[in-house]
A and B are shown apart, each in its own frame.
Chain A
Amino acid sequence: MRIIDLLVSGLTLGAIYALVALGFHLVYRMTGVLDFAQGDKVIIGGLLGLTLVRQGLDTILLVALLVLIAGLLLGIAYDALVILPTQNNGHIATIAATVGIMLVFANGGHLIWGPDGKPFPPVHRGVLEIGEMRIGYQDLLIWVVVIGVAIGLALLLGRSRVGRGMVAAATDPLAAQAVGINVSRMRAIAFALAFGLAALAGVLVAPITLAGGTLGTALTLKGFTGAVLGGLASTRGVIVGAVLLGVIESELAAVIPNSYVDPIVLIALIIVLLVMPNGLFGLRRQRLA
């Protein structure tokens, strides 16, 4: 019974990490940048949702839609204010800027909404019982959204003209510009999508993680770890890596003291990366190539 409970909570934990990891993947594939503010964008999304709920909006799906739109707009502003001014100084400057804005988001959120996590209503209360397995409807929704986003991203990046243009712009901006791709617009779209995804994720996970609080940095680290484990450049790898991380964390916590879990998981990650430097799915892609 407990193993099943832990598997369910591990899958949800992994799905939450996956939502952050997909943001890393999206930005990395489309722009070549690692955006370390991804976890705190999730927190900002949850807090925006909380503000709407406190204003009396009680249809959570509508809240999610409004927060998604707000996230898309914030992403465009994020690109203009954080990425654009630093991109000419190289990737390290841009990455450093994302780390800086991560701290701004975290402390700004505390100043506006307070430092503690706040309860947030789920889309649908209750649990689904299948034999001994009990799965919250909110957990199910998060799983479904992760799968949906992953399929959407795979199609966008692999099959669509816009997606291929984005990847081309990230791989070789000069060549992409020479063939008529508007590199700046592609980058803005990438950051808008990443912020929108993070904001939506914030509303979805807040009933479980609480809205706000100090979780942003931890989400960033775990999302990044999951993405690197699976292979940052592979949509499937990112999902598998993040979910695997969540399940392993959850199951390990049941058999060893909690304080040992993170060190063991991160040491295991280092070993995996020594053997497979591009992550679990990165290596496979290389072999296939």
Chain B
Amino acid sequence: MRAAMRRHAAIAVMTALAVTVTACGSSDSDTSDGSGDTYTIGVVNSTTGALGAVGQQEAKGMQLAVEEINAAGGVKGRKLKLEEVDDQGSVNLTTAGFKKLATETKVPIVLGPGISANAKAVAPLADQYGVTQILLVAQPEVANGTKHVFEVPLPGKANSEAMVNYAKEQGAKSAAIIWANNPYGQAGNTDVTNAAKAAGIDIVNSEGFDPGKFDFTAQAGKAAAADPDAIFLYGAGGSSDALVLKNVAATGYEGLIIGDLAYSSDFIPETAGGNAADKVVSLTAVDYGNPDEKTKKFLDAYKAKFGEAPSVLSTYAYVSVQLTAAAIEKAPEYTGEELSKAIESLNFESIVGKLAYTPEWRGGPNADAFKPVTFKNGEYAVPNQG
């Protein structure tokens, strides 16, 4: 009887755990709106929780950009200051954090969030509160049609098109897809499948993987057994992506392995192993393999500060602060209305491509802005364009 009660108690606790979303507060303090000697910029980000890796990368990019701008004298003689709210990945905390920044801290501009579900929830609030918002998600449909919402990331659909275009250039006629079973990866699977169909590439196998697991032998085996000319990998932006690549390489597959931008992360060689990393070509927003002067300066500064290469997410966040600074410089007043007008008129040339917004288009640059990158001996390299 007691054993049965214990078991029931355990099941009750586990059920409660499964359905409960933990939520608690955020941290912010200042109420500056641009008067005085600083411009305060709001940030809604997920630096803790299951998707904390995303937010922490973004936070680093923003931090570096603010330091660089302030070291160079700030904007219009004033320093930039970030007022950050950690939403812990929770949609409820994102909206609560945004409202707090808009009404209590009274910032005219908010950067982030970088998670699709949170971005969708919070984007309508920007127009409601008259606050400019720069999202760090790759889904233009979230921002298109709004008055005050913009996106920096290159659209996910464009990433898929770039991957398929690369495969076609290399002569691929058939392909398999292994995709992260989350909203980002699911959208990637759909986009790659559609782009492949349009390009005449036959998809012979499509398999999802759970980013919360670590053994992907089955998915890799199924993809390799279909013997395609290329295997597309659409990751989750975490270390599980590297483990998927490791498993694919372990099958002995010798065709093309083409990854989305998640596969340009600098931890890929160490986590997947050098042999596996050398085989993947990532279509990515940052030209790690052959950077121009501006990109190289950023890559070097980031590495010097944080001891690692910036991820694409860090880079988007870095660019979002630069875009904000340019908008503040151009806008006659530090208000949401004027900042949105300024951003739309800037045609800002960034290290991830030109950010050209219109009232209809609020997404990042198109497929042409993606660059192929691979690894050689653990370092970024330009792939052999055979």
Q: Which residues of A contact B (CB under 8 A)?
A: 2, 5-6, 9, 12-13, 32, 34, 36, 91-92, 95-96, 99, 103, 107, 110-111, 114-119, 208-210, 213-215, 218, 221, 224, 250, 253-254, 257-259, 262
**Given A5-B221, A6-B221, A115-B53, A36 and B13 touching (CB < 8 A)?**
yes
Q: Can you pick out 19 interface pairs between chain A and chain B where the beta carbons lie within 8 Å of each other?
A: A2-B221, A5-B221, A6-B221, A36-B17, A91-B9, A99-B13, A110-B48, A110-B52, A114-B53, A118-B239, A118-B267, A119-B271, A208-B215, A215-B213, A215-B214, A224-B14, A258-B181, A258-B207, A258-B210
Q: How far is the CB of A257 from chain B (nearest CB, A)?
A: 7
B209 — which chain A residues lie within 8 A by C-beta?
258
A9 to B220, CA, bound (A): 12
B270 in contact (CB, < 8 A)? yes
Residue pair A210, B271 in contact (C-beta under 8 Å): yes
Residue pair A250, B218 in contact (C-beta under 8 Å): yes
A208 to B217, CA, bound (A): 12
A5 — which chain B residues lie within 8 A by C-beta?
217, 221
B294 in contact (CB, < 8 A)? no
A13's closest neighbor in chain B, by CB? Answer: B215
Contact of A215 among B9, B212, B218, B270 (CB under 8 A): B212
Residue pair B215, A250 in contact (C-beta under 8 Å): yes
B222 in contact (CB, < 8 A)? yes
B18's closest neighbor in chain A, by CB? Answer: A221
B50 in contact (CB, < 8 A)? yes
A253 — which chain B residues lie within 8 A by C-beta?
218-219
Residues of B173-218 at the interface with A, using a CB-CB cut-off of 8 Å, are 181, 207-210, 212-215, 217-218
B56 in contact (CB, < 8 A)? yes
B270 — which chain A residues lie within 8 A by C-beta?
119
Shortest 3 CB-CB distances between A and B: which pairs? A253-B218, A117-B239, A115-B52
Name which of B10, B56, B212 has the most chain A CB atoms within 10 A of its CB. Answer: B10
Q: Which residues of B contact A (CB under 8 A)?
A: 5-6, 9-10, 13-14, 17, 22, 48-53, 56, 181, 207-210, 212-215, 217-219, 221-222, 225, 238-240, 243, 267, 270-271
A250 — which chain B residues lie within 8 A by C-beta?
215, 217-218
A23 to B106, CA, bound (A): 51
B212's closest neighbor in chain A, by CB? Answer: A218
Name which of B51, B217, B240, B243 has the most chain A CB atoms within 10 A of its CB. Answer: B217
Q: How far is the CB of A232 from chain B (nearest CB, A)?
A: 8
Name which of A91, A107, A224, A258 has the most chain B CB atoms within 10 A of its CB. Answer: A258
A171's closest neighbor in chain B, by CB? Answer: B2
B224's closest neighbor in chain A, by CB? Answer: A2
Q: How far is the CB of A19 from chain B (nearest CB, A)?
A: 14
Q: How far is the CB of A79 from chain B (nearest CB, A)?
A: 19
Residue pair B239, A116 in contact (C-beta under 8 Å): yes
Contact of B56 among A103, A115, A117 (CB under 8 A): A115
Q: How far is the CB of A33 from chain B (nearest CB, A)?
A: 8
B270's closest neighbor in chain A, by CB? Answer: A119
Q: How far is the CB of B310 from chain A (nearest CB, A)?
A: 15
A6 — which chain B residues lie within 8 A by C-beta?
217-218, 221
Residue pair B221, A254 in contact (C-beta under 8 Å): yes
B218's closest neighbor in chain A, by CB? Answer: A253
Residue pair A111, B48 in contact (C-beta under 8 Å): yes
